[in-house]
Chains A and B, each alone.
Chain A
Amino acid sequence: MSPEHGAAAAREERTAVITGLGATTALGGDVPTTWAALLDGACGIGRVDFGAPGGPPCDYLAASAAVDPADLLPRAKAAHCDRSAQFALVAAKEALRDAGLPDDPGAGDGGPRVAVVLGAGLGGLTSILEQNHRLETGGPDRVSPRAIPVMLPNHAAAEVGLMVGAKEGVHTPVSACASGAEALAQALGMIREGRADVVVAGGSEAGLHPLIFAGFARLRALSRCDEPERASRPFDADRDGFVMGEGAGMLVVESAAHAAARGARVHCELAGAGVTNDSHHVARPAPGGAGCATAVTAALRDAGLDPEQVRHVNAHATSTPLGDLSEAQALHTALGKDLQDVTVSATKAALGHTLGAAGAIEAVTTVLALRDRIAPPTHSLERVDPAIELNVVGRDPEPLPPGPLAAVSTSMGFGGHNVALAFTSAS
């Protein structure tokens, strides 16, 4: 083997590619349905009523899942899982199928070395509340023997790990709304370190519970608009808060060498990741989005990309006044002053804010944008906030140019977490 050959092989060994995509969202129970609806400008937001008959009104706008994950799983498995784990299992199965792998690629001996990294924001919170209700109304004997495993933050990751045979490790990054993206950053690290051939990575969340709505509402983080189609308006001049969603996004992150050896189809390369913390405030972003800017810069450096190579950004853009502004400032800082040739998509307009799943679902849509050369629309956008100064995709999707292409997906979470992921088109 020539030295150049050896270097190329070594690079391929450390390169991580995306070979499988899975998602379950407000727009569809799988990736093709979600993507088609998103490109079509559909909105997944509707009204959810939690009010008990005769009780106080308790309804909110939310992007609830289009397909109940429990309907797609064996009955007893669904009964043993928090809804967040149900979402994760459904999306993981789709991602593995898309990658041309069985549900359990790591089971048995001699197969690929498999790991799972699955981020969670709230974890099994609705199960905790349900078990607490049983405790308070029926006493300790009515609490499920499954209460503890189901309420742990690693519950969904453990269930996916059991399914896939993740003997190389099961990890659960918990960084609020950056968890799903941080999972992909960790998956990239595992591939580069040679710790696994295949990492099933992403995030899931099932937090549509009146307590969570009330908590975010009391923080004044939720939109007060009562029109479902217009409530989530990322980057719009009239945005006033986010709309909560639920679901999961899962990706098969694979070493390029392993993917090539089995002749797998490659969607794109996961080229780099940047993970930083504001160290500023528990909920407010750092002035000028400094921590987010540093994460984007770090992801590009990690990927060996120049800022001007980035032509598409899937922004975190939750539709809060301050969050969107500071993210825009961060993008200007990290990518350069004039960003008019960078198409920015804000998919929370249609999918809501899925908290710990958001970074993973948006990683899926970023990969699809690179693959299909099209940036998804922001259906609710009427007028870009003049202070934003970004080329935000409006009601119609925008084509992306041919040739080598790089895209960035950003995620931020309470606690000052910032994660940026850099993807490059398949060569």
Chain B
Amino acid sequence: MPTTADDRQMFDELREVLAATVEDVSPEEVGLDADLRDDLGVDSLALLELVAAIEERWQVKIPVEEAARLATVSDVVDHLCGVVAAPAGGTA
């Protein structure tokens, strides 16, 4: 499980983005260690859409080579926590 409140919030929002982007996925079944391709059925087109949705939601840019390295939900959370500025007063 995410260790900080920011991680936790990021994870919860990511679950919503995943459920809205990837067919046949509900937020409840998105675990932190779920494999995007094998567990959630994120194929190559779905990964492109997921990246587009993340870029839009968090106003970040995920380069193609970075996106290719994202294998699990945890990878995405870690990546996002690294590039998204912490909300004011939000550090635990």
List, in ascending order, chain B residues with CB within 8 A of A142's CB: 56
Contact stretch, chosen from A70-78, A269-277, A401-409: A70-78
B:19-78 near A, CB below 8 Å = 19-25, 45, 48-49, 52, 55-56, 61
List, in ascending order, chain B residues with CB within 8 A of A146's CB: 45, 49
A79 is an interface residue with CB less than 8 A from chain B: yes
A80–B52 touching, CB < 8 Å? no
A:40-83 near B, CB below 8 Å = 74-77, 79-80
List, in ascending order, chain B residues with CB within 8 A of A144's CB: 49, 52
A74–B24 touching, CB < 8 Å? yes
B45–A74 touching, CB < 8 Å? no
Q: How far is the CB of B48 from chain A (nearest CB, A)?
A: 4
Specify the chain A residue showing the minimal Cβ separation from B61: A141
A145 is an interface residue with CB less than 8 A from chain B: yes
A79–B20 touching, CB < 8 Å? yes
Per-residue 0/1 for A118-147: is the Cβ within 8 Å of any B Cβ (1 yes, 0 no)? 000000000000000000000001101110
Q: How far is the CB of A73 from chain B (nearest CB, A)?
A: 10
List, in ascending order, chain A residues with CB within 8 A of B61's CB: 141
List, in ascending order, chain B residues with CB within 8 A of A145's CB: 45, 48-49, 52
Specify the chain A residue showing the minimal Cβ separation from B47: A145
List, in ascending order, chain A residues with CB within 8 A of B24's CB: 74, 76
A:73-124 near B, CB below 8 Å = 74-77, 79-80
Distance of A144 Cα from B51 Cα, bound (Å): 10
Where chain B touches its partner, the secondary structure class is helix
B interface residue count range (under 10 / 10 to 19 / 20 to 34 / 35 or more): 10 to 19
B55–A141 touching, CB < 8 Å? yes
B55–A76 touching, CB < 8 Å? no
Q: How far is the CB of A117 from chain B (nearest CB, A)?
A: 24
Specify the chain B residue showing the minimal Cβ separation from A147: B52
List, in ascending order, chain B residues with CB within 8 A of A79's CB: 20-21
Specify the chain A residue showing the minimal Cβ separation from B23: A76
Distance of A253 Cα from B48 Cα, bound (Å): 37
B55–A80 touching, CB < 8 Å? no
Specify the chain A residue showing the minimal Cβ separation from B51: A145
B23–A74 touching, CB < 8 Å? yes
List, in ascending order, chain A residues with CB within 8 A of B19's CB: 75-76
Distance of A145 Cα from B52 Cα, bound (Å): 8
List, in ascending order, chain A residues with CB within 8 A of B55's CB: 141
List, in ascending order, chain A residues with CB within 8 A of B56's CB: 142
Most buried by B among A141, A142, A145: A145
Distance of A312 Cα from B41 Cα, bound (Å): 51
Which of B22, B45, B48 is in CB contact (< 8 Å) with A76?
Answer: B22
Per-residue 0/1 for A260-298: is the Cβ within 8 Å of any B Cβ (1 yes, 0 no)? 000000000000000000000000000000000000000
Q: How far is the CB of A172 from chain B (nearest CB, A)?
A: 21
Distance of A222 Cα from B61 Cα, bound (Å): 45
Specify the chain B residue showing the minimal Cβ separation from A79: B20
Q: How far is the CB of A79 from chain B (nearest CB, A)?
A: 6
Q: How far is the CB of A152 from chain B (nearest CB, A)?
A: 14
A:231-275 near B, CB below 8 Å = none
Specify the chain B residue showing the minimal Cβ separation from A144: B52
Distance of A144 Cα from B20 Cα, bound (Å): 14
Distance of A146 Cα from B47 Cα, bound (Å): 11
Distance of A142 Cα from B21 Cα, bound (Å): 15
List, in ascending order, chain A residues with CB within 8 A of B45's CB: 145-146
Specify the chain A residue showing the minimal Cβ separation from B49: A145
Specify the chain B residue showing the minimal Cβ separation from A76: B23
Distance of A142 Cα from B20 Cα, bound (Å): 17
List, in ascending order, chain B residues with CB within 8 A of A141's CB: 55, 61
Per-residue 0/1 for B4-29: is the Cβ within 8 Å of any A Cβ (1 yes, 0 no)? 00000000000000011111110000
Q: How far is the CB of A58 from chain B (nearest CB, A)?
A: 27
Distance of A141 Cα from B52 Cα, bound (Å): 8
Known: A76-B24, A80-B49, A141-B61. 11 other contacts (CB 8 A): A74-B23, A74-B24, A75-B19, A75-B20, A76-B19, A80-B23, A142-B56, A144-B49, A145-B45, A145-B48, A145-B49
Can you list 7 contacts pairing A with B, beta carbon distance less than 8 Å? Answer: A75-B19, A76-B19, A76-B23, A76-B24, A80-B49, A144-B49, A146-B45
**In the A-B complex, the 6 residue pairs with the closest CB atoms:** A145-B48, A76-B23, A145-B49, A75-B20, A77-B23, A76-B22
